[in-house]
Structure 1
């Protein structure tokens, strides 16, 4: 089956590359937008033809074993430039600041210190995972989608190797309920969720629903997917519908949380979002097993950037703001107003987070398999463990 033109970005381009921000053509971060997402049926066919067998994916691969002893034990995150310059092909799904580590590492020269160039493109998650499975993409920065989990179940070598950004514990982003939907006491109770109309990007298919349902059920409410009416809405539309009362509950993120708070229409539903990472860096076999030295250099640059520049309120550092603005395509004055993400460098808590997504996808029949994948089938800890990033090293 011929490959869709939308998947030719790292092969022979059909008609040139489409740039998301042509005014920044000289930037080392070259963000591009993709043609419309390919149909689900085409994705399924490509999965079947592109994934093939699974040779060379074991954790004991000799090239990986040879790469990891090169870590400087005195300063594990010190740059170790590759002998030859390498380009790593990276996909993000938007300019959200949860992707801040890759944006900042590019803009602040941390990849350059490793003799790396990160070619960053903006792609829909489903397209990124197709390219990842074909070896035409090295890194995808996404949530755990049904697509990537189905690929892994079928033998693909994609694995999580590093965390992206998450919410702060005191975040004002999250689930909000219109006060009109509250019970007689006027205060939020988990039982208030039954029967609501709920707005969320991608609707019922959103993996974030897993934690939402887990938390509500933990309060003793027997909540089932059919007890909620899902509305698939974009962020701005969710905020407007929630404020008008057209929906009862909505997921609100930057910058719409400020709008909702100022309106006084709604209140946040505490404890229903996680402060763990919301996106992850997935490596293909090209970095995990074929070129693990390049993969290690990439993770080292991300970890060094995270520990050096992205702790606390990094909006006070103009260099960081400029790098994030350039990488995300967001004006610097807007970046300064956005709630900063929480960035870490280890994978603690990631298995539980991904298990929540997988459980929801299984419950809603979004997966092609029925026996849950284990953490070891989804996560490759070797890179972060080799760099000792579970502890502050710089």
Structure 2
């Protein structure tokens, strides 16, 4: 379903996700002309940049990356902050995204609609591309950024030396959300403990997706694991049907599909994405990491300002804004209202890429040595945007 709020809805694509992840990683490693970190210009984000205090962005504009508390308040500046600092010359930026209709893309859409990117001197083009197709273009510098996640293919590409980094997060789910792993209970079973080893799991998401991490976490709580269950990949319209008719024992259900069985005693919710820990967001390639860091900071400044201005707290409590958002995303307003507001969050938690890579290893889709966080994550650009000094 393309109109839900989970960022990991795959765009229409016929290739199996596991094969896509592995083939994409291979394409990244051999693609001629891709920029590697060793080949990048020296004037990149690795060099110290002057970070100035930003009006409207105080202590609340930065949280300790090591804070994994589920109730952690996401970082926030005042509305309208950080203020624009237009580039000397207008800059064209292309951002790839798998969809333009999912709620998690709303800050990008709204930043274009409200002119927040334009205020920075950026002409931003949001280009719909499936993640496997966009990654090689990002690595080569043919596109500037990607709204995606550090999936297995991304980490495998970074492991090969390419200048791709996760530079800003997107959201974490609200506590009320039950998007995640659901199981059909057998006779005598309760939601407290459901033996998952050996069961068949239906999912539209491959093992190389970031969802492997929370799925594995939920499975382990119930005696299972990514290596102890059978996966059956299904289309978005078939996952719930297969769970209901016995085709699979459990399934990863996205927003708002899970609401159709929520409260039904025949089913139990085992867990979803960790609260307070975003699993996706903006990936930068060599263009914004090294060649034009000022433009990269400007893009993040506009993104952060959009979150602070339009997506604070329960933004769906404003009926007028929900209507505007539904029109912008071209989704049914009733669907948008049916799920709680996302916790929009630009900050990346410490250790997330380590936990993701462990899940990929457990699922058998990791290649090469583990990528250290310093090679996969760069928090310095959004830190500069909000005036945070380490």
What is the DSSP-based 3-state SS (H/G/I as helix, E as strand, rest coil) of the residue aligned with 1:257? helix
Question: What TM-score, normalized by structure 2, do the two folds share?
Answer: 0.79
User: How far has the Cα of 1:100 moved from its partner?
Assistant: 2.3
Cα 1:375–1:109 shift into 2, 3 Å: same
Relative contact order, CA 8 A, sep 6+: which one is greater? 2
Tell me the residue number matched to 2:211. 208
- The count of aligned residue pairs is 349
Tell me the residue number matched to 2:112. 106
Tell me the residue number matched to 2:258. 257
What is the DSSP-based 3-state SS (H/G/I as helix, E as strand, rest coil) of the residue aligned with 2:343? coil
Tell me the residue number matched to 1:381. 379
Counterpart-to-counterpart distance in 2, 1:295 and 1:128? 18
Counterpart-to-counterpart distance in 2, 1:104 and 1:173? 24
User: How far has the Cα of 1:260 moved from its partner?
Assistant: 1.9
Q: Is the deviation greater in 35-44 or in 259-268?
A: 35-44
Counterpart-to-counterpart distance in 1, 2:164 and 2:27? 18
Gaps of 5+ in 1: 1-19, 21-32
Could you say what the CA RMSD is over the residues aligned between the two structures, in angstroms? Answer: 3.1
User: How far has the Cα of 1:283 moved from its partner?
Assistant: 0.6
Following TM superposition, the consecutive aligned residue runs of length 4 or more in structure 1 with deviations greater than 4 angstroms are 33-43, 63-68
Question: What TM-score, normalized by structure 1, do the two folds share?
Answer: 0.78
Counterpart-to-counterpart distance in 1, 2:268 and 2:12? 37
Tell me the residue number matched to 2:366. 367
Tell me the residue number matched to 2:6. none
Tell me the residue number matched to 2:90. 85
> By percentage of residues, which structure has more helix?
1
User: How far has the Cα of 1:103 moved from its partner?
Assistant: 1.6
Counterpart-to-counterpart distance in 2, 1:261 and 1:389? 43
Residue pair 1:93, 1:142 contacting (<8 A) in 2 also: yes
Q: Deviations over 1:32-71 (max 9, x none)?
A: x89977976587345412335434548xx43648995375
Counterpart-to-counterpart distance in 1, 2:209 and 2:53? 41
User: How far has the Cα of 1:297 moved from its partner?
Assistant: 0.8
Residue pair 1:166, 1:279 contacting (<8 A) in 2 also: no
Cα 1:246–1:36 shift into 2, 3 Å: closer
Q: Is the deviation greater in 353-362 or in 322-331?
A: 322-331
Counterpart-to-counterpart distance in 2, 1:388 and 1:354? 23
1:337 aligns with 2:342: no
1:273 aligns with 2:278: no
Counting only pairs closer than 5 Å after superposition, residues 309-320 of structure 1 correspond to structure 2 as 309-317=310-318, 320=321
1:44 aligns with 2:47: no
What is the DSSP-based 3-state SS (H/G/I as helix, E as strand, rest coil) of the residue aligned with 2:306? helix
Gaps of 5+ in 2: 3-10, 58-81
Counterpart-to-counterpart distance in 2, 1:384 and 1:103? 19
Residue pair 1:108, 1:319 contacting (<8 A) in 2 also: no
Q: Deviations over 1:103-152 (max 9, x none)?
A: 22112221122122221122111111111011011111112222111111
Tell me the residue number matched to 1:192. 195
Q: Is the deviation greater in 78-87 or in 200-209?
A: 200-209
Residue pair 1:200, 1:251 contacting (<8 A) in 2 also: yes
Residue pair 2:203, 2:239 contacting (<8 A) in 1 also: yes
